[in-house]
């Protein structure tokens, strides 16, 4: 059984593979299908973008596909970068440039962590041909640190403080998956998937 994760983000795929390890699916992502077109993320919500990725790839391939749209929402920035998280430092975004831009935008806010509260969000959409998609979502609350720390994870993990001492990039994949937005959303998905697949 194959499950395609509609992503080109290697960090996401690694977390999916760990969590789905015991579920009996072979996990592929879009790097395994170079012939597939680039899906434009034209939605204005996480769910719309996750749907675009999952439903278009499922329609083309005829396979079971999961789309993940996720991002970091910073309270003092009114929820930004949010759905723009990947493209925050456009035109040529990298994780490092995104982090630098976010820390720069937060520089005028007071140093107390409460003022730098934030959450990661993930919406997952599972799609298969000929049926209504399945949608689950989850959040992970934390604070934005003052400097990047840690080598694990991806994206904004080095500045996402999960407690007073550690960033998300200082957690192992296993530790992160137990508590993260994606880990929690994937646990919900795995719970609901068997009944939905029967439909």
* Residue 25 contacts ligand ITT per CB under 6 A: no
Binding piece for ligand ITT, criterion CB under 6 A, among 56-64, 65-73, 103-111, 124-132? 65-73
CB-closest chain residue to ligand ITT: 155
Q: Which of 73, 153, 159, 186 binds ligand ITT (CB under 6 A)?
A: 153
Estimate to the nearest angstrom the gap between the alpha carbon of 131 and the chain centroid: 24
Q: Which of 55, 148, 156, 170 binds ligand ITT (CB under 6 A)?
A: 156
Query: Least CB distance from residue 52 to ligand ITT, whole Å?
Result: 10
Q: Which of 55, 120, 137, 177 binds ligand ITT (CB under 6 A)?
A: 120
Q: How many residues bind ligand ITT (CB under 6 A)?
A: 22
Known active-site residue 69: yes
* Residue 17 contacts ligand ITT per CB under 6 A: no
Q: Catalytic: which of 22, 69, 163, 173?
A: 69
Distance CA 133, CA 128 (A): 7
- Token duo for residue 52: 């675009």
Q: Assess contact for 137 and 121: CB atoms under 8 A.
A: yes
Query: Least CB distance from residue 13 to ligand ITT, whole Å?
Result: 9
């Amino acid at each position: 059984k194959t499950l395609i994760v509609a992503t080109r983000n290697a960090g996401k795929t690694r977390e999916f593979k760990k969590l789905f390890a015991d579920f009996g699916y072979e996990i592929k992502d879009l790097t395994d299908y170079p012939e597939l077109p680039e899906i434009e993320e034209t939605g204005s919500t996480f769910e719309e973008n996750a749907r675009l990725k999952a439903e278009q790839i499922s329609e083309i391939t005829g396979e079971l596909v999961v789309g993940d749209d996720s991002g970091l929402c910073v309270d003092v920035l009114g929820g930004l970068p949010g759905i723009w998280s990947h493209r925050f430092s456009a035109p040529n975004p990298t994780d490092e440039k995104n982090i630098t831009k976010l820390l720069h935008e937060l520089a005028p806010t007071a140093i107390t962590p409460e003022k730098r509260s934030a959450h990661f969000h993930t919406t997952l959409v599972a799609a298969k041909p000929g049926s209504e998609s399945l949608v689950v979502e989850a959040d992970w609350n934390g604070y934005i640190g003052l400097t990047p720390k840690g080598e694990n994870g991806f994206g904004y993990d080095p500045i996402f403080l999960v407690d007073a001492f550690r960033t998300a990039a200082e957690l192992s994949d296993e530790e992160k998956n137990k508590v993260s937005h994606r880990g929690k959303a994937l646990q919900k998905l795995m719970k609901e998937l068997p009944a939905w697949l029967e439909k």
